[in-house]
Amino acid sequence: MSRHQAAAAWMVAAALGLSACHGPLGPFAGGRLSGTISTEPSADWSVAAGHDTVVIETRPDDPYSVQVHYYVVGDQLYVEAMPRGWSRWRGFLAADPLARVRFGDRIYPVRAVPVVRADEIASVLPVFYTKDARRPPTGCDVDDARPPCVAGLRFFRLEPRPHVDPDRAM
Mind listing the pLDDT tens digit for each residue in 87-140? 789 999 999 999 999 999 999 999 999 999 989 998 999 999 888 877 888 888
Q: Is the pTM of this model over 0.85?
A: no
Confidence of residue 164 (pLDDT cuts 50, 70, 90): low
For residue 43, give every residue at least 6 positions away whose Cβ sits within 8 Å of its Cβ, in sequence order, or none.
75
Question: Is the pLDDT at 9 greater than 50, yes or no?
Answer: no
Q: What is the structure's pLDDT at 152?
A: 80
Q: What is the structure's pLDDT at 3?
A: 61
Question: Is the pLDDT at 8 greater than 60, yes or no?
Answer: no
Question: Is the pLDDT at 51 greater than 80, yes or no?
Answer: yes
Q: What is the structure's pLDDT at 18?
A: 45
Give mean pLDDT, residues 58-74: 93
Average pLDDT, the chain: 82
Extents of the domains making up the chain: 3-115+154-168
Burial class (CB in 10 A: 0-12, 13-18, 19+), 154: middle
Question: Is the pLDDT at 83 greater than 60, yes or no?
Answer: yes
Q: For the chain, give the percent of residues with pLDDT over 90.
A: 44
- Tell whether domain 3-115+154-168 is in CATH 2.30.110: yes
